[in-house]
Structure 1
Amino acid sequence: MSDFVAALPMYDWPEMRSEVDAQWARLRDAFRQKGIDAPQTIARFNADLRPVEGGIRDAAGKVIAPDPATLPPGELDFHGLWLHPALLFAQTCWGPMETGLSEHVQVIGQPSYDAFEGGQGELYSSAIVMRAGEAPSIGSPADGSPLIPLDILRGKHFTFNSLDSMSGIVGLTRDLEALGESLEIFSERSESGGHRASIVAIAEGRADIAAIDCLSLALAQRFEPAAEAVAVVGWTRRRKGLPFITARSTPEKIVVALREAVAALA
């Protein structure tokens, strides 16, 4: 059994489990060909993570995350995963990276978003969505520039997946600031807990506006019936998509091999 931990939690919707497992199988086999003892399967729950007695600590010995064994076994604490000392490979968001996670991990690479409207190579943008029929639908700008419909957004209830999400709130905040505006443009703001939940909230009339990264929107259009009730009315600027990471303690030789394997699969 491998001593490492791996996970691909960011787009691991229930309907996507087989596709995510297949993605990991390709990565795992490529890593093993490089001599890396990659785990057979990915972690999906706290119970899948190795216990860390006394909690997860940084290089100075400060506890930065609880022992996974003390957390609800049927849930997954993202920060506990990302900060786990045995982390070989996972995907995160640049929001958490900018707020301290980058000090504890190493970036391995970036996936391609070429297959999705709003994506180009390692860059992606978020679709600004609201209920269908309330504003004209619009395609993604070819040059990746932001398209922020201020008149449409003003006075609306904005919902977002989490406060540290680049795609759900941070990117939009920066685009608004570039236009001399802020989140105060909205009459109300609420945290939904996930991009899918934001789409459902809009479809059900519990919110008006959300920023949904282009890949999550594509998944919703495949699997979430509520997506039929929303339309794209704007786009955020293209930014780097979700990075692949490994623990800060992963040896340099393994980091180099991981990067080579990911690049070869791109």
Structure 2
Amino acid sequence: MSEWIAALPMYDWPECRDETDAQWRSWRDALRARGIDAPENLTRSGDLQALWRNPHLLLAQTCWGPMEAGLAEHVCVIGQPDYSAYEGGEGAYYSSVILMRKSVARCDVAAPADGRAHLPLDLMRGTRLAYNEVLSRSGFLALIQDLKEFNETIDLFAETLETGGHRASLKAVRDGRADVCAVDCRSWALAQRFEPGVDGLRIVGWTARRLGLPYVTSRRARNSLVERIRESVNLNEWP
């Protein structure tokens, strides 16, 4: 049995776990072909902070929010995924959609071609914001950082609701428990496939384009192993 563990938790919705597992099998076989004792199956753990800090972590996704909050001391960045298939994505960079119910906006706003933020300040002012967690770049930090560019703060919103996940934020807006949320463009694509009722939501704006989720390995991994991992998986280089 391999001493290493691997996890791809960030887009691992229950409805597409077969796709996640297929992606891992492809990477696992490529890793093994380069002499790396990759685990047979993915680890699925609810405690992401513990998983990311596990010294036996071979490969996982994380978020730049936790990285900037201290996780970078425990992991080494392997590379970035490609978001070009999603509106709001370009190579290693992605944006978040800003969503409200269609009673507020009848038509979707297209992603800005220049990747700059498009914030509907008048629509958002005095509303209830749903967000997944304060360390999430796509669900919280990007929006707060972009608001600063418009000389605004989180006080723009009348209330905030921490939901614990992008999908939960979408549901909160859909069900009327919140009025607005920010969700990364790939999670929005998953919601359109799998979450009932999101046709009642509209894209009213976009956060600025930023680096997407990094793939990481434990700092315990030697440089030679890191290079073999990079050679095994098809990722954008970390700029």
- TM-score normalised over the length of structure 1: 0.87
Q: Distance in 2 between matches of 1:211 and 1:109?
A: 24
Q: Distance in 2 between matches of 1:87 and 1:107?
A: 12
Partner of 1:71: none
SS in structure 2 at match of 1:169: helix
The structural deviation recorded for 1:143 is 1.4
Q: Distance in 2 between matches of 1:123 and 1:108?
A: 15
Q: Distance in 1 between matches of 2:177 and 2:14?
A: 24
The structural deviation recorded for 1:207 is 0.1
AA of the residue aligned to 1:192: T
The structural deviation recorded for 1:30 is 1.2
Preserved contact between residue 109 and residue 262 of structure 1 (Cα < 8 Å): no
Q: Distance in 1 between matches of 2:51 and 2:32?
A: 21
AA of the residue aligned to 1:81: L
Equivalenced residue count is: 236
SS in structure 1 at match of 2:103: coil
AA of the residue aligned to 1:177: K
Q: Point out where structure 2 has 5 or more consecutive residues left out of the alignment.
A: none
Preserved contact between residue 92 and residue 236 of structure 2 (Cα < 8 Å): no
SS in structure 1 at match of 2:85: coil
The structural deviation recorded for 1:263 is 3.9
Q: Distance in 1 between matches of 2:61 and 2:145?
A: 23
Q: Distance in 2 between matches of 1:265 and 1:161?
A: 26
State which of 140, 143, 147 in structure 2 corresponds to 1:176: 147
Relative to structure 1, is the Cα distance of residues 264 and 123 closer, same or farther in structure 2, using a 3 angstrom cutoff?
Answer: closer
AA of the residue aligned to 2:5: V
Q: Distance in 2 between matches of 1:4 and 1:27?
A: 14
Give the fraction of aligned pairs with identical amino acids, expressed as a percent: 53
Matched, 1:203 2:174: yes
Preserved contact between residue 80 and residue 235 of structure 2 (Cα < 8 Å): no
Preserved contact between residue 199 and residue 226 of structure 1 (Cα < 8 Å): no
Partner of 1:252: 223
1:124-177 residue CA offsets vs partner (Å, 9 max, x unmatched):
000000111312420101111110111111000001011100000000000000
Q: Structure with the greater relative contact order (CA < 8 A, sep ≥ 6): 1 or 2?
A: 2
The structural deviation recorded for 1:197 is 0.7
Map 1:114-263 onto structure 2 (within 5 A).
114-135=84-105, 136-263=107-234
The structural deviation recorded for 1:34 is 1.1
Q: Point out where structure 1 has 5 or more consecutive residues left out of the alignment.
A: 46-75
The structural deviation recorded for 1:265 is 9.2
Partner of 2:72: 102
SS in structure 1 at match of 2:58: strand
Preserved contact between residue 89 and residue 209 of structure 2 (Cα < 8 Å): yes
The structural deviation recorded for 1:264 is 7.1
AA of the residue aligned to 1:96: P
- TM-score normalised over the length of structure 2: 0.96
Preserved contact between residue 81 and residue 235 of structure 2 (Cα < 8 Å): no
Q: Distance in 2 between matches of 1:179 and 1:142?
A: 19
